[in-house]
Amino acid sequence: MKDLLTIKDLSYKKNQKLILRDVNLSLKPGKIVALLGENGAGKTTLMRIIAGVAKNYKGSVTLKDTNDVAKRKSFLSFTDGLTGFSESTKIGDVVNFYVNIFNDFDENEFDELRKFMKLDPDMKLSQLSRGIREKLIIALNFARQADLYLLDEPFAGIDPMARKRIINSIILWKSEQSTILISDHFVDQIAALLDEVVVIKNNTVFAHKTADKIREEHKSIEEYYEGLYEGEDE
Amino acid sequence: MEFKDNIPIYLQIEQYLYRQIAMGKLKAGEKIPSVRKLAVELTVNVNTVQRALQQMNDQGILYTKRGEGNFVTEDTDLLKQTKQSLIDGQLEQFVQNMMRLGLKKEELVPALSKYLEGNKNERPTNN
């Protein structure tokens, strides 16, 4: 099968500090992939580069055969924590913004997701708990008909019920051809969901393996991930 | 359903469905739930369910009707064989565990008979 995303020899510095170097990564369509790594390893930076938000990197990022950043952005969905909105914005107004900006944003689909997530459109962003905010972000993402969804730590600091909802929404709403990249710094909560695991370590893609391969070697994904850090000081 | 994380999930889904069939919860010729429904029910990836169903199709225990989904085979011999291999698997585990505890082969049947007798006496209503 043809690659959906191909990253070649990518390096990125910020304020002369090396964040990523020699990153090579290919993802196929239709997969659920975990992007793992410690805090500060560069997971968010890599997502921001793929999303076309972080610029001035070296190397190439190709999505659906194009290197063009504007085209790439139209093929993918990445929500940067809703940081662009003032905290007094109502959910309904965030949705209107999305309708205007993204041609592939489907309002009916969002409505289904909103009901599934039990979100009240009249609530303001300032009123949302961590879990509800994450549910909103996921609903906004999946209401778009994208080829690649970039979910940046959707499970950080949320309660188990919200997590269960989000996981079920992924199973229900992910289309057959779309790929989801989910970053997290621990893996056990989403392990059963994964097709592949990508680990960022030492400023690069240190490992990329399918979940089935890892388990065929009688390891859990968690053991595999922890094994990559063995013999290192905490 | 809880999955072990150190065994491929598709194999565990296969085992789960084999058990459903052996226990008669899924009957010969019956349609099994859709891929997405199974994925939500088991909280796993759609691709993983598909891989499990594909394998079971290859083994002949399921068959696909185009546009209609997956059905349990009506081949009763194959269903019997399948059930037998599940039973054999359980017995093998039992035997291995007993031998690890130091029982010899010839001690297994008496030990099991004694256990079953004892159980009968303790809970006569529970056959």
Give tens-digit pLDDT for A66-121.
999 999 999 999 987 888 899 999 999 999 999 999 999 999 999 999 999 999 99
| Amino acid A187: pLDDT | 82
ipTM: 0.83
Per-residue pLDDT of A145-160, as tens digits, reads 999 999 999 988 888 8
Q: Tokens 């296969």 sit at which residue?
A: B14
Task: Tell me the mean pLDDT in the region A125-154.
Answer: 94
The pTM assigned to this predicted structure is 0.88
Task: Report the chain B residue with the minimal C-alpha distance to residue A180.
Answer: B45
Whether A231 has a pLDDT exceeding 80, the answer reads no
**Are the C-beta atoms of residues A25 and A198 closer than 8 Å to each other?**
yes
Partners of residue A31 in chain B, C-beta under 8 Å: 47
Partners of residue A179 in chain B, C-beta under 8 Å: none
| Amino acid B124: pLDDT | 53
Q: Using the beta-carbon criterion (under 8 Å), do B46 and A171 form an inter-chain contact?
A: yes
| Amino acid A26: pLDDT | 98
Instruction: Find which of A174, A197, A215 to mutate to test the B interface (most B CBs within 10 Å of its CB).
Output: A215
Q: Please report which helix (H) or strand (E) contains residue B81, including its range.
A: helix B76-100
| Amino acid A156: pLDDT | 84
Tell me the fold of B9-74: Arc Repressor Mutant, subunit A (1.10.10)
CA distance B95 to A147: 51
| Amino acid A196: pLDDT | 97
| Amino acid A71: pLDDT | 94
Low-confidence stretches of chain B (pLDDT < 50) are: 126-127
| Amino acid A28: pLDDT | 97
Per-residue pLDDT of A162-220, as tens digits, reads 888 999 999 999 999 999 999 987 787 889 999 999 999 999 999 999 999 999 999 99
Q: Give the start-to-end residue ranges of the domains of chain B.
A: 9-74, 77-122
| Amino acid B126: pLDDT | 46
Q: Which domains does chain A have, with CATH numbers?
A: 5-84+147-227 (3.40.50.300)
